Structure formats: structure tokens, C-alpha cells
Amino acid sequence: MTFAIRLSGATRAAVHDVVAGLAADLVASGITNEDPTLWGPDAEAEAARRLGWVQAVTTSRPLVAEVLALREDLGALGVDRIVLAGMGGSSLAPEVIARASGVELVVLDATAPGQVLAALDGGIERTALVVSSKSGSTVETDAQRRAFEAAFRDLGIDPASRIVVVTDPGSPLDASAAEAGYRVFHADPDVGGRFSALTAFGLVPAGLAGADIARLLDEAEAVMLDVAIDSPSNPALVLAAAISQPGRDKLGLVDDAAPATGLPDWIEQLVAESTGKDGRGILPVVLLPVSPEVERVPDDLQVVRIVDDVDDVPHHPDGEVLVAGDLGAQLLVWEYAVAIAGRLLGIDPFDQPDVEAAKAAARGLLDARPAPAAPAFTEDGVEVRVSDPALASSGTIAGVLDELWSRVPSDGYVAIQAYVDRTASPQLAGLRELVAADSGRPTTFGWGPRFLHSTGQYHKGGPANGVFLQITERTPVDLEIPGRPFTFGQLIEAQAGGDAQVLAAAGRPVVTLTLTDPQTEVLSLFSAAQ
């Protein structure tokens, strides 16, 4: 199998003319030929240096042998555990590739002290660290690298023998890695992070962990002709039209394939960061097969269901889109489709103009280190802070949540942002289902600060119709960052605070619930959200 897509009912009818128009305008072949004019004059300069992913299947082939050779070298040193320090597209793609191959890759895209400690304590003597960052200035990966360098040295291990770097040539990280003697894989500077799945950013960490990256490239190569032709049968054109329908600006992603690989999480960041800008965009919502939004589909939500075989689904709900395919094919088709969706929406799919705002606010809080604002009230140990005092008028968490849901417009959404240690509180993700049922609107869930490098762009740059529920934690666990004047605990606190600050300044309602005893108080949140 390469890639297959099946539409039904109203969705098939709605996209027919759009697909025909895209084919007539030679959009697919234009992308394949790296034509930067496809997204208009304002996007041309950015697109001119962001289309290298189209040729990634070919340009990445030499990486396969290099990665396999390094894997053997690391194995000779007793390394059988790979940890990846990366954010956004640099972590989500290799995570999916590793899962699909059934190999273990420890993805550290977090700054929660407990989560960093868990990665450090998982067998550092048999660990290699892959540091992935296009610029090398990403604060999270810099902090993680420093922590691992110190841990290796404490055990008498030369970090140069255990740290592998993936970055753009000439980046600050490239220079510092060369000086430290680290093995460096150069990525294509003409590929943006979220389109980098089939480049060194996706292949090096997953390949070192044991994934069959040669097969992944073969799978992508098998669909290259299909996505390049200007035909109404082009699956990327069909998918792009299906997810860009007027009046349906929310995309429900359901993984019904076996085994589940987490592909919707990768699609989520690709879609949200590429399309959420200029007050427009497509909001991706990762769903379970039994989520409230699937049981009763909102009018503004298009469901895309990932299945094993589009012809083997006995009951195909009217309007749903079914897709199936090998992982490499899925990655390439979705990249094409999202780039095409940008053209249909009239935006530049390759920039991320609002991502920097939260980063700048976090840096300001780290520099100033102000005392936390007093909570509006505290209930059962949970501190409640709000962007608007009227949100807290009830004096109860349940009342605050009800008031927050009441501010969701008819075409809006709820975003849950969990700035906590997800290795210690994975059950918190289940809150999404309760909130979706209680609020009656599509609800997203993101682990912070991971989502800041993906859906965070949509939150600030997309339609101003979201309300935001932040969950933070205060624990006695913390960890120094070698060479930095702040700790991991202070960093994640500043990231949450900076994000809330930027959202509130943009007029988005924000409620922050701080858990002072996370394991106990998670149950209180579940009760309040019901």
C-alpha cells in the first residue's frame, strides 16, 4: 500500500470543483518544481527558501548509511538507549517514526524538572543524546543538552562520545558542536522544522533508535509521482480541499489504524503552525474514536480518520474522510496537502510570525523573576488565576470553568495547556474528553512547552475564538541548568506565564490552575470538569 483516500457524501461533492481548479492551476507540479509564487507575492521570499522538503526523499538517501554506521559505533560503546532533545517538528516526526517501527526513542521535549530527571535517570551509562535544533538557539534543547553534558561528565563519560547534533549548517549550534567535538548531521536549511520529517531531523534520531529509515524513504518515494501530477486523482489535492472547506475550519484527527503510531500528533503541529495566522487557519483536534466530537460532529469540524484500509470500513459515516497508507507516504502526502491548504486559505504556510511572542514574554519573566501573582482563590490546594476577574466570581473551580465555557463563541474552541510532568501525570490528558463534553465545543490538549512550537502559533495567529485552560504545577522537585542563572522549574514557570500573558494581551480568556499536590489534585480537576 502507498496512500489511499476515500470521501463520502457532502464532503465529496464539496471538494470536487476545488480539486479540479487546483489541477487546472498546476499547483501540484508547481510545488514539485519548487515554485515560490504559488502563495502570492507576500509569501514568495519565505517560500523561496522553504521548499527543500519536496526533494527530501532523494537528498536524504545518503543519511541512511551514515546513521547505520553511527548506530554500530554507539552500540560498540554499550549504547542501546537514544534520548532526543528537540521541540515541535524536531521531536514529533521521529517520535512517530520510532513508534511505527516498534523501537524505543525517549523524546525529551519538555522542561518540567521531573521529566528531565526521568530522562537522565533512565540509564545514562547506556545512553546517547541527539540534540535537534535548526537554529541551535532553542532554549529548551540548550538546557537539556547542558543537563546531559553534566550527567555524562559526572560518570566519567566524554560527552563527545555520546552527543549527536542535528542542525542547519552555520547555525550557532553547529559552531559550538564542532568546537566540542560532537558528531554533527547537517540538515537542509531550505526546509522548515515542521516539514522536516523526511530529513535529518526525522531520520537521524529514529534511525539511531533502530527504525528502518530506508524503508520509510521507500514508502515516501512510492507516492512521489501521485502527489506531483496535476490530476483530480492526486491524493494531496483531494486531502487539501477536504481540510480547507469554507465553514469547516476545524479538523478532527482520529487514529483507527493498528498499531496506533501517534501520527495525528505530528499532523496537528504541521497543520496548526502552517495555517494558523492572519486571523485564519485550520484548528487540528486530536480525537479518540469515541470522543464527543466524533459521536456528535460539530458543523464546523471535518473528521479525517486514519485507517488500515479505506475499502475495509463497513460503516463510513457520511462526511468523514478516510485515509490509509504507509507512514512514509502519509508524511509526504500530508506535507503537500498542508502546503496546498495554505494556498486555498490565502496564507503563507511556511512562516510562523506569532511563535516568538510567547518566547519573548518567557525571557522577560526569566530576567525579571517577579513573584507569582496572588491567586483569585484557592480550592482544595488548587490555586486559581484568571485573565479577567469576572471569570472567578463564583469562587469555585467548577464555576470558573463554566464561566470560561460560556465565553466560547459558537464557532470557537477550548484549548487545554498542561505545563506539568507528563511522565508523572499522563492521566491528565483524559481531561480533554471531559472538557469537550462539558463545554460542547471542540477541545484541544497540549503538553507545555511542547505545543508552543506547534499549536501555539494558531492560538495567537489564528481566529480569535479560543478560550484557554492552563494547568501548571508546583512541586519540590527542581533541577539546575548548568551555566544558566535559572532552573528547569523556573523555566517552565516562565514559559507558562509568558504564554498566558501574550494570550491575555490578545484578548483571549485564560484560566490558570496551579496544582500544589498534582497526584491528588488531578482528581479534583476531573470532578470540576464534569
* pLDDT tens, position by position, 435-482: 999 999 999 999 999 999 889 999 999 999 999 999 999 999 999 999
The answer to whether residue 371 scores a pLDDT higher than 90 is: no
Q: How far is CA 136 from CA 6, 166, 171, 200, 359, in A?
A: 41, 9, 6, 15, 15
Q: Write the single-letter amino acid at 166.
A: V
Closest CA to 342 of 109, 46, 117, 87: 46
The answer to whether residue 1 scores a pLDDT higher than 80 is: no
* pLDDT tens, position by position, 60-105: 999 999 999 999 999 999 999 999 999 988 999 999 999 999 999 9
| Mean residue pLDDT across the chain | 95
* pLDDT tens, position by position, 204-229: 999 999 999 999 999 999 999 999 99
Q: What is the structure's pLDDT at 316?
A: 82
Q: Write the single-letter amino acid at 477.
A: V
Give the SS3 label for residue 1: coil
Q: pLDDT band for 507, please (50, 70, 90 cuts).
A: very high
Give the SS3 label for residue 280: strand
Is residue 227 within 8 Å of residue 246, measured between CB atoms?
Answer: no
Which run of H or of E encompasses 246? none
Cis peptide before 449 (omega within 30 of 0): yes
Residues near 103 by beta carbon (within 8 Å), at least 6 away in sequence: 206, 209, 210, 211
* pLDDT tens, position by position, 247-266: 999 999 999 998 889 999 99
Q: What is the structure's pLDDT at 355?
A: 86
Q: What is the structure's pLDDT at 528?
A: 80
Q: Cα separation of 416 and 451, whole Å?
A: 10
CA dihedral 307, 313, 315, 321 (to 10 degrees): 40
The answer to whether residue 412 scores a pLDDT higher than 90 is: yes
Q: Encode 24-78 in three state secondary structure.
A: HCCHHHHHHCCCHHHHCHHHHHHHHCCCHHHHHHHHCHHHHHHHHHHHHHHHHCC
Is residue 172 within 8 Å of residue 185, measured between CB atoms?
Answer: no
Is residue 413 within 8 Å of residue 383, measured between CB atoms?
Answer: no
Q: How far is CA 447 from CA 245, 404, 415, in A?
A: 29, 20, 11
The answer to whether residue 519 scores a pLDDT higher than 80 is: no
Q: Write the single-letter amino acid at 111.
A: T
Q: What is the structure's pLDDT at 529?
A: 79
Is residue 114 within 8 Å of residue 423, measured between CB atoms?
Answer: yes
Helix axes 9-24, 327-345, angle to 10 degrees: 80
Which run of H or of E encompasses 262? none
> What is this structure's pTM?
0.97
Q: Give me the mean pLDDT over the 1-5 stretch.
A: 89
Cell digits for 329?
Answer: 507516504
Cell digits for 16?
Answer: 470536487
Q: How far is CA 22 from CA 35, 230, 234, in A?
A: 14, 8, 10
Sheet holding 106-108, edge to edge: 106-108, 81-85, 127-132, 163-167, 183-186
Residue given cell 469562587 in the structure block: 395
Q: Give me the mean pLDDT over the 262-291 stretch.
A: 97
Q: Give me the mean pLDDT over the 361-384 stretch.
A: 93
What domains appear along the chain, each with residue ranges and CATH number? 3-37+230-345 (3.40.50.10490), 60-218 (3.40.50.10490), 355-529 (3.40.50.10490)
Q: What is the structure's pLDDT at 135?
A: 80
Cis peptide before 113 (omega within 30 of 0): no
* pLDDT tens, position by position, 119-158: 999 999 999 999 999 888 889 999 999 999 999 999 999 9
Give the SS3 label for residue 120: helix
Q: What is the structure's pLDDT at 41?
A: 97
Is residue 136 within 8 Å of residue 176, measured between CB atoms?
Answer: yes
Out of 153-157, 292-296, 514-518, least confident range: 514-518
Residues near 116 by beta carbon (within 8 Å), at least 6 away in sequence: 108, 110, 144, 147, 479, 488
Q: What is the structure's pLDDT at 325?
A: 97
The answer to whether residue 11 scores a pLDDT higher than 70 is: yes
Residue given cell 563519560 in the structure block: 157
* pLDDT tens, position by position, 27-64: 999 999 999 999 999 999 999 999 999 999 999 999 99
Q: Give me the mean pLDDT over the 162-169 stretch.
A: 97
Q: Write the single-letter amino acid at 11.
A: T
